[in-house]
Structure 1
């Protein structure tokens, strides 16, 4: 029984040490000043400003290739609804125009990457 406790304790320390060592890779913090949500091990960071909407994707902390990606964003501000198509723009998906981006606005984005099944991410703007 003592060996089992020792083995269990050693395993817990190994897992905790590994998690701490890789903490920055999996931090769900904004890197571009937006709002972050996680869906299926992918971080989605939405930056919504009155003239531009940008979406960055990170797969296990590393930037995802968005060259063959597209997204449909729906902004819900009170009774107003706005649909926006996001297209690749370097390392992110982006659209320019006039957007309602007040604090409390809800955003839903459906992302398609290179023929894979679509993923849906939800945000509340701050």
Structure 2
């Protein structure tokens, strides 16, 4: 039984590494930033966060096409060093956006909680 557990653990470990190294997906769209931000995929939706000192924008793409965010809500928590800032984003055309004064830069962590059509999703970013 112990040997079986070791074999299973080894398969999980190597399978996970192979999966993480494989950058190809079984869908046709790419996960590249289209607006100069950082992209993460959550539940087959690309979230692109554009964070500048005066504006925070969140673009959502569903299978490569802009998602309808007209009724979406979002809150982004920015973590820069020991400082924490919470920002509420509002629909602005084809994106969610907030303007103001934001402490952002390379290494800033951001957590976005977005609700679209009553379905919440959480996306985590590290700014470059």
Query: If the length of structure 1 is used for normalisation, what is the TM-score?
Result: 0.79
Query: Residue 88 in 1 paired to residue 91 in 2?
Result: yes
Kindly tell me the number of residue pairs found equivalent between the two proteins: 103
Cα displacement string for residues 17-62 of structure 1 (whole angstroms, at most 9, x for unaligned residues): xx6xx74xx1000000000000000000000000000000000111
Structure 1, unpaired ranges of 5+: 1-18
Structure 2, unpaired ranges of 5+: 1-25
1:115 deviates by 1.6
Q: Say what the alpha-carbon RMSD is for the aligned residues.
A: 1.1
Stretches of 4+ aligned residues off by more than 6 angstroms: none
Q: Which one has the largest radius of gyration?
A: 1
Query: Residue 123 in 1 paired to residue 128 in 2?
Result: no
Distance 2:107 2:121 in 1: 22
1:86 deviates by 0.4
Q: How does 1:68-107 map to 2 (within 5 A)?
A: 68-107=71-110
